[in-house]
Amino acid sequence: MNHPNDLKYAASHEWARIEGDLVVTGITDHAQDALGDLVYIEVPELDRQLDAGEQAGVVESVKTASDIYAPIAGVVVEVNPALEDEPELVNNDPYGAGWMYKIKPDNIADLEKLLSAEEYEEGL
């Protein structure tokens, strides 16, 4: 499995990356692999305030559906429009083109509460 060291991870299988003053999020390589071929992705609405651990959306595959959760608290400021027509981007490139949404964090220091790549992999 591919879990880049420059990202932070939630035990619920989401990743977070700082990009300027925003946090980009998506699901991990492990999560997309376990789900199989994704056929639908529901991302949170723009301007929605999310608490850390709150359900932010849903991913559906040919096998199952799974909730996705906010790794940190903040306001959704951007969603990935490509996922509506190409949910498979998450399967093909979960940390790049398959990002799901961007949050303006309430407190950027909350990222330190998330797991490192090594800690995340230990929990798998």
The per-residue pLDDT for range 56-113, each reduced to its tens digit, is 999 999 989 999 999 999 999 999 999 999 999 999 999 999 999 999 999 999 999 9
Amino acid 98: pLDDT: 98
Q: Enter the pTM of the model.
A: 0.95
Cβ contacts of 108-114, under 8 Å, gap ≥ 24 = 108/18, 108/21, 108/23, 110/52, 110/72, 110/73, 111/8, 111/16, 111/18, 111/23, 111/71, 111/72, 112/8, 113/52, 113/72, 114/8, 114/9, 114/10, 114/16, 114/71, 114/72
pLDDT digits (tens, 9 = 90+) for 24-38: 999 999 999 999 999
Which domains does the chain show, CATH number per domain? Answer: 8-108 (2.40.50.100)
